[in-house]
Structure 1
């Protein structure tokens, strides 16, 4: 690695770290000002608990969220600075091509990308779980309806279906439960109960006031009882519609959940697929945003660094805007989640190629 590569790579990583370190305290200060009254209302909360169970994970989650923005601003900042000092002109005068000039940026982007991939797939989901639990426990108003899902229908397999009138995720109890097993289109077995409860210790479901109906060739057989512990092919998390559920699972857990849900006949899993694909597409955008930033800032402009930062930040917000639209559209049942998640990267990738070719010719 040349001295030039080491110089640019050092500037790349140090500027990125500096911008990230500057952004996070601002985010924390804003968050503290918004939530300080709710912290104080919970007398059992200590400062240590707030830092350990909330703000440590807040830094992990929002640091990961700010990473592309921090990288983009950092690259524009230090590249504009060396361009303003005519260092880029000196580099080109030494017969170093623009493509060769991009090498240390590529190395830096690769380092950040691998860090972001590890964070997105494994670290952030675990932080989300603790972070969301803290919010639900201490910061949200206790509302019974928030924890109750009504009219739950779930297909467990090709011929197995369950239905619940309502399910409470806090107590892990459901009401008006029924389970049906078919042979083709013919009903073979039905199990009903007034109440169903998940028993974590035994990993079984406990049915209270139940009725079993076996449909035989020549007759029906009916059994009734007060209590029945049984194994069923689903878990409590399959019964609740929680937007944060996908964000709280690591990628291996999320893939496993998607496969199980597909086997149970659940049709629209795009919300989970969007979350899974986004964990890879966002880190890969590091390369695209880096090359756009270098192409914008590598030339000395009238107006200096301010013009470059204004153009760059505008492009960054356009990217974030398209990303959010793509996520919403990708969650729809009739769309291809993979295509929608990668669409912003495709468009901005084309822009990066155009800017690169224009700079490479000069």
Structure 2
């Protein structure tokens, strides 16, 4: 790398870190003002616990979230300053093409992308698990706490031939009612177990069913058994009954992939919310390259209004990207659609904008 490359890369990364250090304290200050009453409600909640369990993980989450925005703003600010100081004119007069000028920017964007990918797939999910546990215990309202408490009318495929159905299950008490388990041989029913109540014992992973009835179907006759109480084992736990997109944010990518595969095998109908979360962990870091090209192309030439006009245009584009990304996430979670296509749609759209701006900037 030449001296000018090191100069641009160094200033690029310094401006990026400086922008992050501005955004994160603002986010922390706003969050403290919103949640200070919740903290004061709990006499047993100390300062160290708040910082260690909540705000450390809060900073990790929002640092990763703000990375594309911070990089976009940093590139616009730094490149606009180069342009206003006529440094870019000197660079172009030295026969340096726009493509060659972009080299240090792409090196910086690659470093940020790699860091963001590692955080998205591994660091942030583990961090979110601790943060959300703290929120559930000390911050969220009782209504929010009960969001994942009850599961209604749930069916699950345990194996290729075994299916279960539960009318209602309380995940806090590990108990439910109106339970049935059916065993098939192809399309033919072999046996059915039904019970009025079911309770899970987490110590030994055993289910206790009450007022149970079992029907065993043979070729020429049926046998019916019943009883008041019996302990048995099933290939699921109460955690498997909860299919909420919020849980996907707490799973590292390897665990999320395993969960999706098991759920598909068990016949869960719509897993697109989990696919959206998985694809988003890659699409958002890759957007760093697209936003970098757009930012450099916007700020490359000196404009009337200087840095202000470039920053205003850039922030407008950034909000358009975030808005389109949120819409694509909602649409991608709908059953029956291609979640991969919807998640990557903002990148495809703004990639075309980046290609157009890049072509004009080269001229």
Alpha-carbon displacement from aligned partner over 1:56-96 (angstroms, at most 9, x marks no partner): 11111111111111110011011101111000111111111
Runs of 5+ unmatched residues, structure 2: none
Runs of 4+ in 1 over 6 A off after TM superposition: none
d(CA) in 1 for partners of 2:325, 2:60: 21
For residues 122-172 of structure 1, what are the alpha-carbon distances to aligned partners after superposition, in whole Å with 9 as ceiling and x for unaligned?
Answer: 011111111111111111222475311211122223432211111112222
1:169-215 Cα shifts (integer Å, max 9, x gaps):
22222222111112233221112223223333323333233332211
> 2:265 aligned to 263, 266, 275, which one?
263
Structure-2 residue corresponding to 1:231:
233
Q: RMSD over aligned Cα, in angstroms? A: 1.4
Is 1:303 matched with 2:276? no
TM-score between the two structures when normalised by the length of structure 2 = 0.96
> Which residue number in structure 2 is paired with residue 220 of structure 1?
222
The CA deviation at 1:231 is 2.7
Residue 23 (structure 1) aligns with? 23
Structure 2: distance between partners of 1:231 and 1:116: 42
| Alignment of 1:189 onto 2:191 | yes
1:314 aligns with 2:316: yes
Shift of 1:236: 1.9
Q: Which moved more, 1:45-54 or 1:107-116?
A: 45-54
SS of the residue corresponding to residue 343 of structure 1 reads helix
- What residue is the counterpart of 1:86 in the other structure? 86
Deviates more, 1:186-195 or 1:85-94: 186-195
2:195 is paired with a residue whose SS is: strand
**1:226 Cα offset (Å):** 3.9
Alpha-carbon distance, 1:237 to partner: 2.1
1:270-306 C-alpha deviation (Å, 9 max, x unpaired): 1000000000000000000011101101111100000
What TM-score do you get using the length of structure 1 for normalisation? 0.96
1:95-135: per-residue Cα shift (whole Å, max 9, x none)?
11110100000000000000000000001111111111111
The residue that corresponds to 2:169 in the other structure is 167
Q: Which structure 1 residue ranges, 5 or more long, are not aligned?
A: none
Alignment of 1:265-304 (within 5 A): 265-304=267-306
Task: Specify the SS of the correspondent of 1:163.
Answer: strand
Give the equivalent residue in structure 2 for 1:112.
112
Match of 1:3 in 2: 3
Distance in 1, matches of 2:4 and 2:228, equals 78
